Amino acid sequence: MDKLIIRGGNRLSGTIPISGAKNAALTLIPCALLTEEAVTLRNLPRLADIDGFQHLMTQFGVSHTIPGKRPEEFGRNVTLEAMRITSSVAPYDLVRKMRASILVLGPLLARTGEATVSLPGGCAIGNRPIDLHLKALEAFGAQIELAQGYVKAVAPDGGLPGGEFDFPVVSVGATENALMTAVLCNGTSKLINAAREPEIVDLCNLLTAMGAEIEGIGSSELTIHGVKKLHGATYRVMPDRIEAGSYACAAAITGGEVFLEGADADDMASTIHALRNIGVEIETDKKGVRVAANQPLKAHNLTTAPFPGLATDMQAQLMSLLCKAEGTSVLKETIFENRFMHVPELIRMGADIETTGRTAIVRGPVELTGAEVMATDLRASMSLVIAGLAAKGETTVRRLYHLDRGYERLEEKLQLVGADIERVGDD
């Protein structure tokens, strides 16, 4: 198993190209199940999760073609075609490693009238039940049965009539599944208190390009007028706001200056706001976001929240940055209950962090020192890389399969801006 070796202390400087968004791509791929025609996704990141999802799609008879592209380039274009659905079953072996696999439930149900999907896996960052996914589909007329670790959904004869669902709490995944189901319902459906994340907007934009009729895009209330059939489309995946925010933290913790090429400042407004409050200089334009840390960092209190609040996926990276800030910072995690598992690893590197429940107190600045650390989930992995870039000495990060799920060729991008980082095989 590979590991990353990071020799800290180098100031990052230069340009980092931002890849297509993982969280958007994993929602756009299953849209191919909704039509017989080809769906081409441009700027699809090369990630383990994307490869895994494409493998799952072949289970249903979906073909995919990848035109030739130079291996040194980031991203790729993929054409998916589901002319005929050959299976409506998503087995455990293909689903267990990736929570996003549950997003095939709605499209399969809408297209074929039935779907059987294994309960999903993913990062161990807390309890993430799928009850809201199922309740939304039931509101649209589906019959749901849970048995032996599988969800079986069946539409009535004649198809799903559609309906109204009011989310008791905001859920990104459940909103996505409900959207992809509603577009092929017989009637009009309404989603109330729907998630508003940019990835939801990206999904709505692709569905609209395929012929769906959706009102209220970008708001918490979506009205979907079902259509009989969707057609193919070519669509570019939005830039990854979490990747961009992660590299912004990496630049800032080294006192560096980096241009995040292709980053969308509007999508990452809450992260930019937090960085500015910490003392990081941010400039934005249509081509990307420039990050510079030319002054001492200062403590800042942060609370994660659904969009437009601070993304939970940025909490760990900002925590690493705050280890080098002057003063005491308080971070509150409101989305997932187990998202401080990176804290013991940061403490091994010299961080002064105290946790109580969903609150972390970070005291700084401290001198971080290199250590052997182990990633516990995707974003925790990146927080350790960020800390390693500023640490004195050598840091070894293990369990890279977490990083490979969400960051396209991370070490290559960091090398572009002067980081001393390399991937090596484990002994």
Q: Which residues are known binding-site members for UDP-N-acetyl-alpha-D-glucosamine?
A: 99, 128-132, 313, 335
Residue 350 is which amino acid?
A: G
In DSSP terms, which residues pair with 283 in a beta bridge? 290
CA distance linking residue 149 with residue 147, whole number of Å? 6
Q: Is 323 a known active-site residue?
A: no
Residue 39 is which amino acid?
A: V
Question: Quick one: which H or E segment has residue 81?
Answer: strand 76-81
Q: Tell me which of 123, 185, 249, 323 is the catalytic residue.
A: 123
Residues contributing to the annotated binding site for phosphoenolpyruvate = 22-23
Residue 32 and residue 231 in contact, taking contact as beta carbons nearer than 8 Å? no
Residues contributing to the annotated binding site = 22-23, 99, 128-132, 313, 335
Angle at 241 between CA 232 and CA 328, to 5 degrees: 160
The structure tokens listed for 240 are 């990854």
CA distance linking residue 297 with residue 308, whole number of Å? 24
The structure tokens listed for 137 are 């589909």
Judged on CB neighbours under 10 Å (0-12, 13-18, 19+), 226 is buried
Q: How many Å separate Cα 400 from the centre of its chain? A: 17
CA distance linking residue 3 with residue 425, whole number of Å? 6
Residue 247 is which amino acid?
A: Y
Residue 96 is which amino acid?
A: R
Residue 413 is which amino acid?
A: K
CA distance linking residue 276 with residue 61, whole number of Å? 48
Computed from CA positions of residues 401, 419, 360, 270, in that sequence, does the dihedral angle turn out positive or negative? Answer: negative
Catalytic residues: 123
